[in-house]
């Protein structure tokens, strides 16, 4: 299995490097078009990236299924054989407003289990890569699990529009500090490296969190819903990815005053 995964991985890394060249061109073209809104134009870039990945699958792995943000149809057979989950651009608002802090999130599942995962930070050209049975890498260098961190010593990350005020302030009081990047993939990657203690998305779509399953598993992080239950990769939903040292206290605070909306 590992050898087969490594072969698939080589094709995917090659494709990501191709996107590294093409996405800046697509974005430059986007600037030239003025008639539609910038959000619509980004949606077109999303679609082009997803179509490009679909072409790679058709050419190299025709039996693989694609469950992407832009074209998700049938969900019945996604637990059978190979299924890719793709968010071609995560952090769309950041791209439009800041031209920074956006990424691709890509993951392969085999019979419902995660086996390959990628988060690629386009502007910083940082590739987080996980190969089941092999290792987790940042730009080719092995990434070790982060140290265990207590909540009081950790930066934490969540959308402040969807937590109630009291819960939010309880979390802020219990932690070292708060930062939000605004792209679920990049906020999650900060937990991989120990820069954040945890990230919460109260209404994550499957493509926001597809890659995080394998990174969490291989880096010894917690990734569950808010009742410490596994998340279904086909449905997504309330999501926490956390350093094990922050996890229980965060959930206790999050739930004790019924503190969030979907
Ligand atoms: P944002 O700053 O534009 O994006 C932050 C992250 O949320 C990105 O990963 C983004 O993925 C994703 N996202 C964007 N729209 C979303 C949506 N409608 N539902 C779920 N995830 C979404 O967005 P935001 O301020 O967090 O939220 C955008 C909308 O979702 C708002 O109306 C917000 O109230 C609602 N919402 C967000 C959360 C949360 O925990 N972040 C929870 C519940 C509801 P893309 O860049 O790929 O779109
Ligand atoms: Ca997303
Ligand atoms: Ca997206």
What is residue 122's DSSP assignment? T
Pairwise CA distance, residues 60 & 190, whole Å = 32
Q: Helix, strand, or coil here: 75?
A: coil
Report yes or no on whether pTM surpasses 0.75.
Answer: yes
Ligand nearest to the backbone CA of 210: 2
Sign of the Cα pseudo-torsion (220, 226, 230, 233, in order): negative
101 pocket-lining for ligand 1 (C-beta < 6 Å): no
If you measure from the C-alpha of residue 8 to the centroid of ligand 1, how many angstroms do you get, rounded to a whole number? 31
**Is the shortest distance between the CB of 91 and ligand 1 below 6 Å?**
yes
Per-residue pLDDT of the chain (262 residues; tens, 9 = 90+): 789 999 999 999 999 999 999 988 888 877 655 556 666 667 788 899 999 999 999 999 999 999 999 876 788 899 999 999 999 999 999 988 888 999 999 999 999 999 999 999 999 999 999 999 999 999 999 999 999 999 999 999 999 888 999 999 999 999 999 999 999 999 999 999 999 999 999 999 999 999 999 999 999 999 999 999 999 999 999 999 999 999 999 999 999 987 776 5
Angle in degrees, CA 77, 225, 157, rounded to 5:
120
Closest atom of ligand 1 to CA, residue 200: 40
């Amino acid at each position: 299995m590992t050898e087969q995964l490594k072969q698939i991985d080589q094709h995917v890394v090659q494709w990501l490097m191709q996107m590294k060249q093409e996405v800046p061109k697509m974005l430059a073209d986007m600037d030239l078009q003025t008639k539609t809104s910038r959000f619509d134009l980004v949606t077109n870039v999303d679609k082009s990236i997803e179509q490009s990945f679909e072409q790679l699958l058709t050419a190299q792995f025709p039996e693989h299924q694609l469950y992407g943000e832009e074209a998700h149809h049938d969900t019945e057979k996604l637990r059978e054989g190979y299924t890719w989950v793709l968010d071609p651009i995560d952090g769309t608002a950041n791209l439009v407003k800041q031209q920074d802090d956006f990424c691709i999130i890509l993951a392969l599942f085999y019979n419902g289990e995660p086996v390959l995962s990628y988060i690629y930070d386009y502007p910083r050209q940082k590739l987080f890569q996980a190969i089941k049975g092999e290792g987790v890498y940042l730009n080719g260098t092995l990434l070790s699990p982060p140290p265990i961190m207590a909540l009081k010593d950790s930066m934490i990350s969540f959308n402040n529009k969807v937590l109630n005020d009291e819960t939010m302030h309880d979390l802020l009081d219990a932690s070292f500090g708060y930062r939000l990047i605004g792209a679920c993939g990049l906020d999650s990657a900060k937990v991989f490296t120990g820069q954040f203690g945890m990230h919460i998305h109260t209404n994550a779509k499957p493509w926001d969190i597809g890659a995080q399953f394998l990174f969490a598993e291989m880096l010894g992080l917690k990734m569950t819903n808010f009742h410490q239950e596994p998340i279904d990769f086909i449905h997504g939903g309330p999501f926490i990815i956390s350093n094990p040292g922050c996890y229980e206290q965060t959930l206790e605070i999050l739930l004790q005053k019924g503190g969030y909306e979907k």
